[in-house]
Amino acid sequence: MSAPAFAASSEPLTIIGGGLVGSLLALYLARRGHQVAIYERRPDPRYQEAAEGRSINLALSDRGWRALEGIGVQDDVRRVALPLYKRAMHSIDGQLTYQAYGRENQAIYSVSRDGLNRTLLDLAEAHPNITLHFNQRCLEVDLHQRQLTMRDTTTQQTHVLTYHRLFGTDGAFSAVRGAMQKTERFNYSQSYLEYGYKELQIVAGTAGKWQLDKEALHIWPRGQYMMIALPNLDGSFNCTLFFPYEGETSFAALQTPAQVQAFFERVFPDAVPLMPNLLPEFAQHPTSSLVTVRCYPWSYQGEVVLIGDASHAIVPFYGQGMNAGFEDCTVLDQLLTEFAGDWDTVFAEFQRRRKPDADAMADLAVYNFQEMRDRVADPRFLLQKKIESK
C-alpha cells in the first residue's frame, strides 16, 4: 500500500458496517494515523462459505477503480476481476447482438462481491491501526451521549460503547441513519420498484470453460423484464432475473416447477440448457426487493456521517452503487486533506458535494432499467455489428 505523507492523527474513529464501503473507508482513514474500529453485524466472511454457495458479482467501473488506486490496492483486485468490453444481447430467437461499452480496451469489470470484501478485510486486518469486530450488531445510536448499543450476535449480550466520531457504512437499512432520522429537519424517502430480483446460475462447461462469451455482460431484454449474466472466475455466470412481483408475467404467476420451466424455455431458450439447477435455484433463492433511498443531511454536528448505501442506496441497473460508495471515500479523503482537522467543514462539504451526484445516479439507475430491459433490444439502438449465434 502507498504511504502518503499525512500528518498522523490518533483520534479514534468508529465505523458501523464492514461491507465494501466500510472496509475501504477504514483503509483510507487508518493511513492518516487514526485508530479505526469496524463493527460488523455478520460473521467474518473470510471464514464462511459464500451465501448459499453462490457467487454474487458486481460491475466495477472507473470511479471504483480510482478509489482502489487511491490506497494502492488496485492490483490485488485486478487479479480477481474479469474485463467486460461489451453488452451481449440475447434475442428470443437466439440471435446475439453486441454493443461495445466504449472505445477499444475500455471495459467495466466483473468482480465477486465476496472476494472483493475479503480482499479489503485482509488489507484492513493487516493494518496496525484497524481493529475488526464481527458479530456486532448496532441496535441504537445515542447521538447526544455519543453512545452505541451493540448486540453480540453469538452470545446475544448487549453492551454500550462510546464513540468519538462515527461513520455509518451500514447499508440501505442503516441503523446510524435510523438515529439521524429522528433529528430535526432530516429528510428521508425510500421507494421500491414493483420489480424484485432472483439470482440464478449458468454453470461452467467442461474443464471450467465459460459457456458464453466471458468478455461481455449478457442481457436477455424482454420489454417488461430481463435477465442479465456476469462471468465468474470459475467459468460460471451469475444471472439475475429482474421481474415484476405481480401480474400476468410475474413471480406471483410462476408457482410450480412446470410453470417456471415452460416460461424459461419460451423466453430464455438459449440460456436454459446452461442452467441445469434452474428449478431448485428458482424455488430456493430468495426474491429480493429493489429500493432507492434518499436522505439529507448526511452528517450530524461534525460527529457522525453516512457513507455509501447508508446515505444513497440506488437500484442496480446503472451498476454504480458500490462505485459511488467507493467514490465517497475518495472525496472524503480529499476533503480531509483540504480541511485537515476541521471535521465540521469536512462533513458539511462532503454532503454538499456528493448529494447532487448521488441524486443523479439514483435517477440514472432507474432510467437505465428501462434502457436495459427494453431499449437495448430496439434496432434503433443497435450500433454494433449483429452476428448470428452459433
Does 232 contact ligand FAD by CB under 6 A?
no
Among 13, 29, 36, 59, binds ligand FAD (CB under 6 A): 59
Question: Of the two residues 10 and 189, which places its CB atom closer to ligand FAD in the complex?
Answer: 189
Cell digits for 239? 444471472
DSSP 102-151: SSTT--EEEEEHHHHHHHHHHHHHHSTTEEEE-SEEEEEEETTTTEEEEE
Residue 165 is given by DSSP the state S
Q: Which stretch binds ligand FAD (CB under 6 A): 20-28, 126-134, 201-209, 260-268?
A: 20-28
Q: Which residue of 137, 198, 294, 353 would you call a contact of ligand FAD, by CB under 6 A? A: 137
Q: Does 115 bind ligand FAD (CB under 6 A)?
A: no
Q: Is 148 in the site for ligand FAD (CB under 6 A)?
A: no
Total residue count of the chain as it appears in this document: 390
For ligand FAD, give the closer residue by CB, 154 or 256: 154
Among 240, 292, 299, 368, binds ligand FAD (CB under 6 A): 240
Q: Could you tell me how many helices (H) and strands (E) the chain has, helices first?
A: 10, 20
Q: How far is the CB of 187 from ligand FAD (least distance, A)?
A: 19
* 18 is a site residue for ligand FAD (CB under 6 A): yes
Q: Of the two residues 31 and 285, which places its CB atom closer to ligand FAD in the complex?
A: 285
Q: What is the dihedral of CA 58, 64, 69, 70, to 10 degrees?
A: -140
Minimum distance, C-beta of residue 258 to ligand FAD, in the bound complex (Å): 27
Asked whether 381 and 375 are in contact (CB, 8 A), the reply is: yes
**Residue 154 or 259 with smaller CB distance to ligand FAD:** 154
- Cβ 315 to ligand FAD shortest distance, Å: 8
Residue 211 in contact with ligand FAD, rule: CB under 6 A: no
Is 17 an interacting residue with respect to ligand FAD (CB under 6 A)? yes
Shortest CB 150 distance to ligand FAD, Å: 8
Span near ligand FAD by CB under 6 A; candidates 17-25, 97-105, 248-256, 366-374: 17-25
DSSP assignment of 321-355: HHHHHHHHHHHHHHHHHHTTT-HHHHHHHHHHHHH
Q: Closest separation between CB of residue 3 and ligand FAD, Å?
A: 25
DSSP 26-57: HHHHHTTT--EEEE-SSPPGGGSPPGGG---E
Could you tell me the three cell numbers for 153? 450476535
With CB under 6 A as the contact rule, which of the stretches 184-192, 256-264, 296-304, 318-326 interacts with ligand FAD? Answer: 318-326
Q: Which of 26, 36, 37, 58 binds ligand FAD (CB under 6 A)?
A: 58
∠ Cα 106 350 332 (to 5°): 60
Is the CB of residue 311 less than 8 Å from the CB of residue 187? no
27/224 Cα distance (integer angstroms): 42
Beta bridge partners of 130: 36
Rounded to a whole number of angstroms, the minimum distance from the CB of residue 262 to ligand FAD is 26
Binding interface with ligand FAD (CB under 6 A): 16-22, 39-42, 58-59, 137-138, 169-171, 175, 197, 240, 308-309, 316, 319-323, 325
